Structure 1
Amino acid sequence: MRAVVLGDEHTVYTFRLMGFEGKVVGENEDVLSLIKELSLEEGVGAILITSDLADRVREDFDKLRLKMRKPMLIEIPSLKEMKFREVNYLTILRSVLGI
């Protein structure tokens, strides 16, 4: 099972260093289309999306999150947000992976 991270370059590259797949999402890219494309790929069990991206399409993201059974859509803080609050990525990853 694969987990894919969508977000800014710092967050995506950090997760890639930990072995995750990821895609840097630009300002003009359609976040919902990316989520839907990934959900159709074989083996994708979780899509981790940074809060700033989810906020861009909040209403539709929340609806999609409730509707989709697989893959799980998990909102995570970006590394930029870490400046403002403490984030324990290990705890987030463990919950995603069910460890």
Structure 2
Amino acid sequence: MAARRVVVVADTYTVYAFRLLGVEGYSVNSPREAARVVESLIPREDVGLVLLSAEYFDEAREAVDRFRRARSDAVIARLPTVREPGRPMDVQRELLRALGMG
């Protein structure tokens, strides 16, 4: 299996920070832009993890759901940012889902 990429979809500052770590990133300014980027990632087989900014996650829910239905081999997750603090994550549930067992 080929290596998979992590992709960040968030505000400019968050994307910049992740790019410093070598992560591919797309800077967006609205939920509509975020949804378009998420949908553009669906056919990309090299993407294994999409981190979508928490501030756009709920409003881009339709695109997130389409991604999840089309890409059972990849994970899309909410990324807490400075503008919206995170919530605890059930890592075991997410891992099981990523493995197709949950």
TM-score scaled by length of structure 1 = 0.67
Kindly indicate whether the alpha-carbon contact (under 8 Å) linking 1:51 and 1:76 is maintained by their aligned counterparts in 2.
yes
Picking from 48, 64, 79, the partner of 1:76 is 79
Instruction: Check 1:16–1:72 CA distance in 2 against 1; reply closer, same or farther (3 A cut).
Output: same
Q: What residue in structure 2 maps to residue 21 of structure 1?
A: 24
Find out whether 1:32 has 2:27 as its counterpart: no
Q: Which runs of 5+ in 2 are unaligned?
A: 89-94, 96-102
Conserved 8 A contact 1:54-1:61? no
Rate the CA distance shift 1:64–1:21 in 2: closer, same or farther, 3 A.
same
| Cα-to-partner distance string for 1:33-82 (whole Å, 9 max, x where unaligned) | 21121121241111110110112223x25533652313210111013335
SS at match of 1:40: coil
Confirm whether residue 64 of structure 1 aligns to residue 66 of structure 2. yes
Structure 2: distance between partners of 1:17 and 1:29 = 26
- Looking at structure 1, the residues matched to 54 and 43 of structure 2 have their Cα atoms a distance apart, in angstroms, of 22
In the alignment, structure 1 segments of 5+ residues that lack a partner are: 88-94
Number of residue pairs the alignment of both structures matches: 86
Determine which structure has the larger helix proportion and give its number: 1
Output one character per residue of 1:8-41: Cα deviation in whole Å (capped at 9) or x when no partner: 0111111111110101012374322211211212
Question: So what's the TM-score if we normalise by structure 2?
Answer: 0.66
Secondary structure in structure 2 of the residue aligned to 1:79:
coil
**Greater relative contact order structure (CA < 8 Å, 6+ sep):** 1
